[in-house]
Structure 1
Amino acid sequence: MEYLTLNNGVKMPILGLGTWDLRGSPGYKAILSALSVGYRLIDTAKMYANEEIVGKACKDSKIAREELFITTKFSGSYASYEGVKRGIDESISLFSDSYIDLALIHEPYGDVFGMYEALQEALECGKVRAVGISNFDKNRYLSFIKRCAVIPAVNQIESHVYFSQLDFKEVLNAHGTQMQAWASFTEGRRNVFAEPKLVEIAKKYNKTAAEVILRYQIEHGIAVIPKSADVKRQQENLNVFDFSLSEEDKAQIALLDCKKSLFNWY
């Protein structure tokens, strides 16, 4: 596993497991299998309603807590100062833990400044190790950080070969915020695994299109959290640290970028 160093010195795995839609016993088994094959970052959210099984899988994995990196996100009924204060303690309890590694505002809605104040207080007292945001576009991000005493360590946003947001990544870099991608595989909005150019490039390296996609993002310094409940796919997603893409191949992949969201989030 490779690690990134966040703006407060905390080290975060560059690749983790997204857990959207992983619930109940099947979800627990999927998270446990991911941990068993080498994942160390698990990304969840209040919205996912699965923090308890994330905590149980982490405990049952018998992996030392300091080796794990757990992210959660707050939105909806938690979109206020009091909501985040309550949510932090609730999440820690559901994880059967004493701290959260990374806590994010899930969406740029609600009382974001009150939410962030609560996150900063949790950071100061050791309940979280790093704080950040999710789904803030460039304008919202730049407006937000003008009022922040603590620059967000992470901005988790949509990013894939059809909407890389590499230009936004440069803005984030300039201010010390790490970009983390959700929807690396487009969540089914496009059949990215059958994209001819990606399939062609993958054959050159004896890799899959999925591995090429993740490698492309990682080589641009983007953290990734692909979701998979299948242990073979989980292992495949981890198998991206033993090759590098040529500059020519990266230039070819860049041509796929339509610079338009597939989710109309922005």
Structure 2
Amino acid sequence: MEYMKLNDGLEIPAIGFGTFMIPADGTTYETVKTAIDLGIRHIDTATAYFNEQEVGQAVKDSEVEREDIWITSKLWLQDYEYEDAKKAIDLSLEKLGTDYMDLYLLHQPYGKVDEAWRALEEAKEEGKVLSVGVSNMTPKLWNKWVPDFDSIPSVNQVEFNPYIQQKELKEILNPLDVKIQAWGPLGRGNADLLNNPIILELAEKYGKNAGQIILRFENQEGIIVFPKSLTPERIKSNMEIFDFKLTDIEMDKLRALDTGKGSHDPDAPGVGEMLMNAFDVHANE
């Protein structure tokens, strides 16, 4: 496993396992347990994924020590008021069954972001969270909120794959040494991306599959990735990206695939209001 150093000095696994849309009916537990058994050391979850408890149980039941597994979770919008955020952080810790989270993010950049960030900073000071960051912040949203923060986020988790490479955002983040975490690193199964002739040509050259070429490209770009799969063979193959290196020319060919457009536009009118009312993360408590 390779690691990347964050701007707070901590080292984060370069590749992890995403749990978005994996149901909490035992499936999350089984797939996370399998991923850890296969060598994954970074699990990404969120309050709004409704599967923190199964993630935590899988980590606990693995044969790997807690300090060797990086757990990322996220605060949902309805808990952005300062006092609510403090309670939500403690609740995530309780569900995960751990004394600390390695990384905790603001899941969406709307509402009382300033209050929520203050709660995250305090949680970090108290040792409940080791690193703090944000998610889905475009350049516009980053510039709206972050200049007023007392500290700089360590990561910004956004959509990233060869078709949406966040070039404008990287111009803001790179000087601050803020790492991008990629959600949807394989384009959420985008058939056009996975069958792109350039990617398939490289896959044949290196004896890899299309997904491995994409993940290796992202890794060489300094992006933290956590592809999701329910299949052990695919989880294993997604990790097998460190035994080859794309050339500068090949990297440029893949950079040229950027369209600048993703499947989600956080700047679109009404997105914040829609997400704010999407669901109640405390409905079953």
**What is the TM-score with the length of structure 2 in the denominator?**
0.90
Q: Match for residue 201 of structure 1?
A: 202
CA deviation after TM superposition for structure 1 residue 145, in Å: 2.1
Q: Match for residue 44 of structure 2?
A: 43
Q: Report the Cα distance in structure 1 between the residues aligned to 2:53 and 2:255, rounded to whole angstroms.
A: 39
CA deviation after TM superposition for structure 1 residue 190, in Å: 4.5
Q: Report the Cα distance in structure 1 between the residues aligned to 2:106 and 2:49, rounded to whole angstroms.
A: 14
Q: What pairs with 1:1-266 in structure 2 (closer than 5 Å)? A: 1-23=1-23, 24-266=25-267
Q: CA RMSD in A?
A: 1.2
Bigger mean CA deviation after superposition, 135-144 or 220-229: 135-144
Classify the secondary structure of the residue corresponding to 2:217: helix
- Structure 2 residue identity aligned to 1:11: E
**Contact 1:161–1:256 at 8 Å: present in 2 too?**
yes
CA deviation after TM superposition for structure 1 residue 132, in Å: 0.6
Classify the secondary structure of the residue corresponding to 2:102: strand
CA deviation after TM superposition for structure 1 residue 133, in Å: 0.2
Q: Match for residue 282 of structure 2?
A: none
Structure 1 residues 190 and 78: CA distance shift in structure 2, 3 A? farther
Classify the secondary structure of the residue corresponding to 1:98: coil
Structure 1 residues 185 and 104: CA distance shift in structure 2, 3 A? same
Classify the secondary structure of the residue corresponding to 1:89: helix
Q: Report the Cα distance in structure 2 between the residues aligned to 1:86 and 1:14, rounded to whole angstroms.
A: 30
What is the aligned length?
Answer: 266
CA deviation after TM superposition for structure 1 residue 77, in Å: 2.0
Q: Report the Cα distance in structure 1 between the residues aligned to 2:84 and 2:16, rounded to whole angstroms.
A: 27
Displaced runs of 4+ in structure 1, greater than 3 A? 188-191
**Contact 1:216–1:250 at 8 Å: present in 2 too?**
yes
Q: Match for residue 275 of structure 2?
A: none
Bigger mean CA deviation after superposition, 101-110 or 182-191: 182-191
Deviation sequence 1:186-241 (CA, Å, 0-9, x none): 11344422222211111100011100000001101111111111110000100001
**Contact 1:202–1:212 at 8 Å: present in 2 too?**
yes
Q: Report the Cα distance in structure 2 between the residues aligned to 1:14 and 1:132, rounded to whole angstroms.
A: 16
Deviation sequence 1:64-84 (CA, Å, 0-9, x none): 111010000112322221222
Bigger mean CA deviation after superposition, 171-180 or 218-227: 171-180
Gapped regions of structure 2 (runs ≥ 5): 268-285
**What is the TM-score with the length of structure 1 in the denominator?**
0.96
**Contact 1:107–1:135 at 8 Å: present in 2 too?**
yes
CA deviation after TM superposition for structure 1 residue 167, in Å: 3.7
Deviation sequence 1:115-146 (CA, Å, 0-9, x none): 00000010001000010100010122123221
Classify the secondary structure of the residue corresponding to 1:4: strand
Q: Report the Cα distance in structure 2 between the residues aligned to 1:192 and 1:235, rounded to whole angstroms.
A: 21
- Structure 1 residue identity aligned to 2:30: K
- Structure 1 residue identity aligned to 2:58: A
CA deviation after TM superposition for structure 1 residue 94, in Å: 0.7
Classify the secondary structure of the residue corresponding to 2:105: strand
**Contact 1:151–1:176 at 8 Å: present in 2 too?**
no
Bigger mean CA deviation after superposition, 21-30 or 203-212: 21-30
Deviation sequence 1:79-118 (CA, Å, 0-9, x none): 2212221111001111111001100000111100000000
**Contact 1:22–1:28 at 8 Å: present in 2 too?**
no
Deviation sequence 1:151-190 (CA, Å, 0-9, x none): 0011000111101113422320112311111111111344
CA deviation after TM superposition for structure 1 residue 251, in Å: 1.5
Classify the secondary structure of the residue corresponding to 1:146: helix
**Contact 1:31–1:229 at 8 Å: present in 2 too?**
no
- Structure 2 residue identity aligned to 1:12: I
**Contact 2:136–2:159 at 8 Å: present in 1 too?**
yes
